[in-house]
Chains A and B, each alone.
Chain A
Amino acid sequence: MTITAPPDLSPGSDRPSDPFDPVPVAVHLRPPRRAGAEERFAATDPRKGWDLAAHPRVARVLRNRKLQFFLILPNQLVFWLVIMLGLLGTVVPGLNFGTAITWYIWFCLVFVMMVVVGRAWCAMCPFGGFAEWIQRRTFWQRTQKTLGLGRKFPEPLARYGLLLSVGSFLLLTWIEEFFNIAGPGNPMDTSFMVLGIVTSALIFFLAFERRSFCRYVCPLSALIGSVGAVGTAAGFRTRDRQVCLDCKTKDCMRGGEEGFGCPWYTWPGSADSNLTCGLCTECYKACPSDNIGFYLQPPMTSVVAPSRRRADVAWSVALLWGLVFFQQFNATNVYASLDGWLTKYTGIAYPNPVDYLGIIVAMAAVFAGIAWVASRALVRDDLPTPMAAAKRSFIDKTSRFRAFFVPVAYGVIPVVGADYFARQLPKFFKHAARIVPSVGAWFGLGSTHSSLYNTRILSNPSIVTVQVAVIALGTLAAAVATWRIASRDLVPVSDHPVATRVTSLAIVAAVGLTAGILYVLMHAAS
């Protein structure tokens, strides 16, 4: 005898035989469409053995409603400390714990997590976490009534998926560069920046339902989401898709007694990448059939395998590539003279918004332009248009250009991710040790003369070597990914398989080379 779910609560059974509940007699739901599910999800469904939740101890931790609270809590404490110290602590940036932890440690750590795990940061983020506590009126309980207006995020913006998030990342980066916050400059600026993010998160959480902020607005969402695709966390996925298709209640989406409905608008039954899984464990808790697992996947699965390639991800990658290019390019002499010239005419100091946005958009446009030319030359012009395509939104529309651009953009994710990662390395290698004197400064012990303050983990030339190595690794990974993407998505739409493979690999190589060379040039310029 085993403990079973009560028959009237198991999804799929509409209890027509239960004489005590006459409702099911009248219910005659249409059968869901199942055809094609096996093939569609074959490449992205994680392997059975990679389900961490299969271990009873892990399952128990995941089922605990306090799990996310305890993930958020330490970050929450650190961030309020950052705000307080930024406002009240020493003005020497390197000695202020607020700036030191934010820019020397945290930012690098987020990038490591993103590349290795995916949205791990989102599960512990103090910004969204704080706002969500207020929105749900609780630290961890499953509450029924939320605080705030609970509006739907406006569709005119939501239809562009991650692009708004890219926009807010560009804005935040510009502010950060303009005020030299991460320089790091005045510690107070760091406090204001963090406060600004917390406040805007709170406003969005109170105005809109669930984690609309995280999904559409958060400056880091697009970056973590797209670069996180190389990560090894597949997230929470269905264990048996047929059970999910049979389920008539979708507690994972609507919310059940034990868990909230997915705050990220993801259904474990159809997730084919880790893009929108915030690892918050709510679906796992809510599922009445214990049919959700917490899966790992081989690195880059979410880059190579998804059947649904989203245009917003592709454009995000292009723009994010533009941004990281700008951040490298701005260290060169060519940029200095361009920015100086613009500043003279507009009166706005570095970075001038015109060249800032201009360079980013130009790089994205170059990337897309090459893809466009390649698509004209390589993609067949007689691609069948699916019947439903007419009503598809921006994310899913089809065209000859998109048939080439979108998969190739996915392919360069590893090298763009490597580029962002490499850019954080100097701060870490040069200044990470300052965290010790900055803590000592609370007790009047740390000073700029402290040996740890001036300790460097690596010298400048070594840092460049590491950076170039990271880029090389990223390029290699991107090349492998692109090769596989080409086989899956590009060759089938082209009459020139060899040229298609060569062109897509050339694009990856161009991005990798540009990034690598720029690190050498940056070093030379400094």
Chain B
Amino acid sequence: MSVIDLPIDRASDAPPEHPSIQVLGDRCAGCQECSIRCPTGALTLDPTTWTVVGDDAACVGCRQCERTCPFSAVVIEGPVLAGARVPVVHEHVGALAGSRVETRQGIASWADALAEAARCLDCPDPTCVRGCPAHNDIPGFVRAVAEGDLDTAHAVLRRTTFLPDVCARVCDQAVQCEGACTWSLAGSAPVAIGALERFVADNAPVPPLLPAGASAGAGDYAAEAHDAAGSNGADRGADDRLEVAVVGSGPAGIGAASALVAAGAKVTVFERDSEPGGLLRWGIPDFTLPDAVARRPWETLVEAGVDLRLAHEVSADDLDLLTFDFDAVVVAAGASVPLRLPVPGGDLEGVWDATRFLTGAHAALAQGTSLEVLSRPATTGRAARVLVLGAGNTAMDVARSARRLGAEAICVDWMDRAYAPVRPDELDEAADEGVDVRFATTVVRLEGEDGRVTAARMVPTRQRKAGTTPEVLDGPETVETVDLVVMAMGYRVPPELLELDGGTLVPRRVDGFPDRRWLGSGIFANPAPPFARHQPVGALARGREHARREAALPRRERTWVAGDALVGPATVVEAMAQGKRAAESILDHQPRRPGRARPVAGRVLVAVESRTGTTAARAEALSGALAGAGADVRVLPLASVSTTELAWADALVVATWVEGLVVAKVGPARATRAWLDRLPPLAGMPVALLCTYAVSPGRTLPLMRVSVERHGGRVVAAEALGRRSPSAAADGNATKAMAGALLEAVAGRAE
């Protein structure tokens, strides 16, 4: 087997033919974290010394053991036996002008697909799955490919993604699944997961969303879809069916609609454009995502019975109205406001935003024409010149589309090339196609004649560190003749939509202690592998997972937000995964609009911070009262209540002991206060507060109330119980009253 030509730090002068395993005897504690995760079974426990021993012959050098050993007691020396990655063409083939041909080609043959699939180690704890924002079962589908079973492979993918054909083309796999592949983490070339996914999606027939016979065609879906689905209780008679509105038909809307309709819910999608697909349609050019592929998801969804209402704008004010007509609303409206550079001359004619250009270019290329604005200079005998402000991925799409329309394209970005958030492969492809990309440059003035832009004045800039604002230098000014300027500096979420998120986006970078299972998988251990362009794949994946989990929480009562509208401009796969997660949350909660009965019992999460057990005992008494009244109750220590647990609940009880100087400065325990401060939006969730005290509860309950209400919770009951209570009966009554108030609020919410 040959070794991939990638920098491998450990390479010595004369690397041995085969990796060797060294287990550090004094450190190995025999915990077997390595051996349970070794893909090849090269590590076993020696029961005599209770340490692990390695079998060199079985080792492939993937170093999963090194990454997962808690005491770094395993050292692998020698090559990574990753094998050669099947080459895939990523270059424009043929004439560029007017072309709609895909630049990136897929795997060409079955032989290549089998060879690539054979490179997968089928890791017991696959880090690629965590690297994938949708958590596709990558080893599972690759295994199916290796067995020659494309239908199974497709089915495995479709468990977690509705867009394998799209994602395979548009995902930046290097910082997602492939970057997190064991081979990549070991410093070598990962399995070509994206190419294999595309091979499956392109060559296996798309399975229908609903079982055979259930799909009814557009417009006439309701009865049949309802009859066929229902395995998970989404429908119990026609009147009881969950009815959900989805605002936006982009990736997040697709993710939500597909999961909902597959579960038998009645889904209505509102799209402001005249064609569905959102960013998939207008944002990604044909040379990356062909029309046929971009159209496919909506063809499937409409066939499955989704009620698609095109040219139907839903304003932020309309959202509240929607909640009266639907049981739940998913806002998947994206980040649609283009950013504009405030530059003198920015209001001249011929200064466009990227959306306008991409939509126009898409239509022009489809019709085999060009844009009027680009044909004008032809009379002077020269090609039209397009100046693209920005050098990110959208800017590359604009510039490359312009090249296909016969224009010259210049991209300028004031960031340094090293820190610009652009995919290097896209940059290379653009350069190959003749796009002139200039980093560390900015436009200081646009000049025009007769109100039309004709020239751009540019100066150099300097950016010393990533994430800092570049400084504009006094350096030499250059002037470029331009016929069209396109501002492609990115997008933002419309402010009125942002209000839903409480004015801030959900961050995709998180601090604090990572999920223990993620830590155990070793994904954080080699933080920046070369294949991932030295990006921290583990931290990136963790941030995406944080956003996906947040998507499970409603932002307002019965209103969920997913995709770019939730996190700001991100990726197709993240948006889809968030939409799907929001849909799962809706299916799980079965919310109903006022006047309709909710088919599931109210679920109460009791979060307890107890020190001596007094608070825990009172919380248990309350839980008993709640359970007795028919609620589904879960009691958890406060510290282990995270977004996931909150997403499960319809109502919340926070029980805590109090901390302070006997009677002065008495408030909720410090852990409780910290936990309340970190609460995600509660979207009107009914909350009951309970504290136990020895001498005085002080200001505990008011402080907790303020905290809860700040996060959108609705406090419906609050009680302070003395540790030495005067009467058990009084306590019992208080508990019963709290349980009653809480359940009443839950019931009131459902009606």
Binding site for B on A (CB under 8 A): 1-6, 8-9, 19-23, 25-33, 35-37, 40, 56, 60, 144, 152, 155, 158-161, 244-245, 248-251, 253-254, 256-258, 261-262, 265-267, 269-272, 288, 307-308, 312, 386, 388, 391-396
Q: Is B41 an interface residue (CB 8 A)?
A: yes
A-chain residues with CB within 8 Å of residue B139 when the two chains form the complex: 26
The reply to whether A29 and B31 contact each other, CB–CB distance below 8 Å, is no
Question: Closest 3 CB pairs between A and B?
Answer: A393-B25, A253-B70, A267-B29
A248 to B71, CA, bound (A): 15
- Determine whether the beta carbon of A5 is less than 8 Å from that of B640: yes
Q: Are A6's CB and B640's CB within 8 A?
A: yes
| B134-174 vs A, Cβ < 8 Å mask (1 yes, 0 no) | 11111110000000000000000001100000000000000
Other-chain contact of B26, A21, A159, A254 (Cβ < 8 Å): A159
Encoded as 1 (CB less than 8 Å from any A CB) or 0, chain B from 109 to 140 comes to 00000000000000011100110001111111
Measured in the bound complex, the distance between the Cα atoms of B608 and A152 in whole Å is 40
Contact (Cβ within 8 A) B54 A391: yes
Give chain B nearest CB distance to A313 CB in angstroms: 11
Q: Looking at the assembled complex, report how far the CB atom of A455 sits from the nearest CB atom of chain B, in whole angstroms.
A: 46
- CB atoms of B25 and A30 under 8 A apart: no
List residues of chain A with CB within 8 A of the CB of B637.
3, 5
Please report the C-alpha to C-alpha distance between residue A288 and residue B51 in the assembled complex, in whole angstroms. 24
Instruction: Using known A-B contacts A33-B35, A396-B49, determine if residue A22 contacts B644 with beta carbons closer than 8 Å.
Output: no
Q: Which residues of B contact A262 (CB under 8 A)?
A: 71
Flag if A250 contacts B513 (CB, 8 Å).
no
* CB-contact partner of B48 in A25, A251, A388, under 8 A: A388
| Complex partner residue of B25 from A272, A307, A396, CB under 8 angstroms | A396
* B519 at interface, CB cutoff 8 A: yes
| Given A1-B620, A22-B160, A144-B513, A392 contacting B639 (CB threshold 8 A) | no
* Contact present for A33 and B520 (CB under 8 Å): no
- Asked whether A256 lies within 8 Å of B124 as measured between CB atoms, the reply is no
**How far apart sit A204 and B324, CA to CA, in the bound complex (Å)?**
66
Q: 15 A-B pairs, CB-CB below 8 angstroms?
A: A1-B627, A1-B633, A3-B636, A3-B637, A20-B581, A22-B135, A23-B517, A26-B135, A32-B45, A33-B44, A248-B517, A250-B31, A257-B513, A393-B24, A396-B49
- Closest beta carbon of chain A to B648's beta carbon, Å: 9
Query: Which among B27, B511, B613, B645 has the greatest number of chain A C-beta atoms within 10 A?
Result: B27
Could you tell me if A308 and B50 are in contact, using CB atoms closer than 8 angstroms?
yes
Q: CB distance B35 to A254 under 8 Å?
A: no
**Residues on B with beta carbons closer than 8 Å to the beta carbon of A23:** 129-130, 135, 517
**How near does chain A come to B141, taking the closest CB pair, in angstroms?**
10
**Contact yes or no, A392 B49, CB < 8 A:** yes
Known contacts A22-B137, A270-B30; A30/B124 CB under 8 A = yes
Question: A1-B635, A3-B635, A161-B26 known; A28 and B124 CB under 8 Å?
Answer: yes
Q: In the complex, A33→B30 CA distance in Å?
A: 10
Interface size of B as a range: 35 or more
Mark interface residues in B40-64 (1 if CB within 8 Å of A CB, else 0). Answer: 0100111111110110000000000
Interface string of B209-241 (1 = CB under 8 A from A): 000000000000000000000000000000000
Q: When the two chains form the complex, which single residue of B25, B27, B517 contacts A392, counting CB atoms closer than 8 Å? A: B25
The answer, yes or no, to whether B316 is at the interface (CB within 8 Å) is: no
The answer, yes or no, to whether B465 is at the interface (CB within 8 Å) is: no
Instruction: Identify 19 new A-B residue pairs, CB closer than 8 A, beyond the known A5-B640, A160-B26, A394-B25.
Output: A2-B620, A6-B645, A19-B584, A20-B644, A20-B647, A21-B644, A29-B37, A36-B47, A155-B22, A159-B24, A159-B26, A254-B519, A262-B71, A269-B29, A270-B50, A386-B46, A392-B49, A393-B26, A395-B26
Indicate which residue in A20, A25, A388 contacts B46 across the interface (CB closer than 8 Å).
Answer: A388
Chain B residues whose CB sits within 8 angstroms of the CB of A32 once the complex forms: 32, 35-36, 45
The verdict on B374 contacting chain A, using a C-beta distance below 8 Å, is: no
- Give chain B residues whose Cβ lies under 8 Å from the Cβ of A29: 36-37, 124-125
Check if B35 sits within 8 Å of A250, measured CB to CB: no
Q: B258 — which chain A residues lie within 8 A by C-beta?
A: none
B469 on the A face (CB < 8 A): no
Are B516 and A256 touching (Cβ within 8 A)? Answer: yes
Asked whether any CB of chain A lies closer than 8 Å to the CB of B611, the reply is yes
Question: Is the pair A22, B159 in contact by a Cβ cutoff of 8 Å?
Answer: yes
Q: Is the CB of B520 within 8 A of A250?
A: yes
A155 touches B24 (CB 8 A): yes
Q: Name the residue on B nearest A152 (C-beta).
A: B72
B124 touches A391 (CB 8 A): no
Given that A22-B137, A26-B137, A288-B516 are contacting pairs, would A391 and B53 also be in contact in the complex, using a CB cutoff of 8 Å? yes
Whether the pair A30, B516 counts as a contact (CB closer than 8 A) is: no
**A253, B513: Cβ atoms closer than 8 Å:** no
A386 to B48, CA, bound (A): 9
CA–CA, A136 to B47, complex, Å?
35
B188 at the interface (CB under 8 A from A): no
Quick check: B623 and A27 within 8 Å, CB to CB? no
Those of B50-95 within 8 Å (CB) of chain A? 50-51, 53-54, 70-73, 75
Name the contact of A30 in the complex, choosing from B35, B137, B613 (C-beta under 8 A).
Answer: B35
Tell me, in angstroms, the Cα distance from A56 to B613 when the chains sit together: 10
Whether B644 lies near A8 (C-beta < 8 A) is yes
Does B310 make an interface contact (CB < 8 A)?
A: no
B306 at the binding interface (Cβ < 8 Å): no
Choose among A29, A307, A312 the residue with the greatest number of B CB atoms under 10 Å from its CB.
A29
A152 to B635, CA, bound (A): 42
